[in-house]
Amino acid sequence: MAQFKMHLLVCGGTGCRASQSEIIVENLKSEIKNLGLENDAQVVITGCFGFCEKGPIVKIVPDNTFYTQVKPEDCAEIVREHILKGRKVKRLLYEDPETQKHIEDSKHMNFYQKQIRIALRNCGFIDPENIDEYIARDGYAALGNIITGMSPQEAIDIMKKSGLRGRGGGGFPTGIKWEIASKNKADQKYVVCNADEGDPGAFMDRSILEGDPHSVIEAMAICGYCIGATKGIVYIRAEYPLAIKRLKIAARQSRAYGLLGQDILGSGFSFDIELRYGAGAFVCGEETALIKSMEGLRGEPTVKPPFPAEKGYLGKPTNVNNVETFANVPAIFLKGAEWFSSIGTAKSKGTKVFALAGKINNVGLIEVPMGITLREVIFEIGGGIKDGKKFKAVQTGGPSGGCLTEKHLDTPIDFDNLIAAGSMMGSGGMIVMDEDDCMVSVAKFYLEFTVEESCGKCAPCRIGNKRLHEILEKICSGKGVEADIDYLKNLSRVIKDTALCGLGQTSPNPVLSTIECGACYEKCKFTAIHVQ
């Protein structure tokens, strides 16, 4: 990146591309050419900046100027004014909703100030289709250090010490998971990256793969070294064409650099990855179902134990982690377990990426330290509720989570606190609702989702969720009776207690947590007035 004076970073994430960011890139390039600035400025397509609300984003470094909602016709002005004359285009700068002042650079935006970016460290900074940019930011250094200078157990010990817990929802300690897989002897083991993000309203994994695919590949190779696997598989949603394309490019480049394949960096360690496509089944995010799907079968979960670490893909020990978990790994090895574990709460270390959406001013992708409060996320990073309405609740954890209200606003966010509050970390969807929204209908929305996505294997999930949904419909149509609430509660608890897999065991959470919220049900129990 060094030879240019200025870089124009344009978000190439799915959201911004949908608002013509590709045309913006073309226009910027042609204007630079028109003005003969080819040797001074370079246009780079990056991954997601996170601030999707104000997309498309154009960021100019080194001064970190942050232009929002750029239109193709604005490009000429940006190049002429900013690049050539050194004057910022004021009208395109981000305007603070409270002070109504233009903020000149991203470092001073509330949206970014409270964030700590580990998993997203490269998203929006590098060209994901260029391995050199990843390497320039210490990419593959962790892998190199480990495979040439560390035993697998030493590396696992670092992982354990870091306290990293699985970011896919369950929160199982990653180091321990790796250790179990490493101790199971087999002629072949597998590292699987779960990129079958299916939670409605969550797109963090996709953003990482689109913005920084190499970090995932590097982490998978590290994991392979630790557990003794030579094969990695990325199970990715077929609906993510851009992520698939960038992952393929990244793997090709890594192979060309000898960072994947036989005898990596002369260490004697060999590792390579391949891609498998999901086909639209949310339950395949559950690791045993994912393995079935990779084997070409219906993605139905199986009873655990045996865990994948003992008997996984093709019956071999298999370690499954999700994208965000992997994205943390290289950073942990570069900066040390102590650094990582210094961030976060007692039992939840590091950061978590959330997809912040709903009735909130700053929709986008954020990465915050564990232990941050919902209030900080919603009112500082998120910029508060849209159109000045009143906050009602925030739904976390998607279909496995629940609604948190006013009283939870100051609860520090971590795995255990969210469960205690009746919700879940889940994969990181965070949907903010205002006073107009009815939580019963949100619970119904999630139940509809679960009913549609239930695999049908176990009775509690297959039939129970259907019945929950029917009762919610009854209540929403104003025909509810007191006994319905008791029945909802009992049925929800039994489903949680008896369902076969994580999907079923958490599916009643949206119902239970909204009942806990109380007020909403009181209002809509016998009338239909909640439907705004």
Of 183-202, which residues contact another protein (CB under 8 A)?
A: 198-202
- Does 330 engage in binding with another protein (CB under 8 A)? no
Binding of residue 444 to another protein (CB under 8 A): no
Is there a contact between 233 and 276 (Cβ–Cβ < 8 Å)? Answer: yes
Applying CB under 8 A, the site for another protein has a residue count of: 84
Residue with tokens 């900080």: 376
- Under the binding rule (CB under 8 A), the answer on residue 207 touching another protein is yes
Q: Which amino acid would we find at residue 60?
A: I
Choosing from 12, 13, 152, 163, the residue that interacts with another protein (CB under 8 A) is: 13
Interface of this chain with another protein, residues 152 to 181, rule: CB under 8 A: none
**Burial group, residue 247, by CB count within 10 angstroms (0-12, 13-18, 19+):** buried
CB of 80 to another protein, least distance (A): 28
x/- map, 487-516, another protein, by CB under 8 A: x--xx--x-xxxxx----x-----------
Contacts of residue 73, defined as CB under 8 A and 6 or more positions apart, other chains included, come to: 27
Please give the residues from 30 up to 89 whose contact with another protein meets the rule CB under 8 A.
Answer: 52-55
Question: What does the block give as tokens for 204?
Answer: 């963090």
Quick note: the x/- pattern for another protein over 351-370, rule CB under 8 A, is: ----x-xxx---xx------
Please provide residue 354's backbone torsions phi and psi, each rounded to the nearest 5 degrees. -125, 145
Site residues for another protein, 402-441, by CB under 8 A, read 429, 431, 433, 437
- Tell me the backbone φ, ψ of residue 502, rounded to 5 degrees: -60, -35
CB 218, CB 253: distance < 8 Å: no
Question: How far is the CA of 224 from the CAs of 152, 268, 269, 272, in angstroms?
Answer: 9, 13, 9, 9
Residue 497 beta carbon to another protein: minimum distance, rounded to whole angstroms: 5
Residue from 208, 281, 385, 394 that binds another protein (CB under 8 A)?
281
Q: Mutual orientation of helices 204-211 and 323-335 as an angle, nearest 10°?
A: 60
Q: Which of 464, 515, 520, 524 binds another protein (CB under 8 A)?
A: 464
DSSP H or E run through 9: strand 6-11
Tell me the closest approach of the beta carbon of residue 258 to another protein, in angstroms: 27
CA angle 310, 288, 419 (to 5 degrees): 105
Q: Which stretch binds another protein (CB under 8 A): 127-135, 321-329, 334-342, 485-493?
A: 485-493
Which residues are bridge partners to 394 per DSSP?
404, 432
- Closest to another protein by CB, 253 vs 505, is 505
Q: Name the one range near another protein by CB under 8 A: 176-184, 289-297, 369-377, 513-521.
A: 289-297
Residue 203 within binding range of another protein, rule CB under 8 A: yes
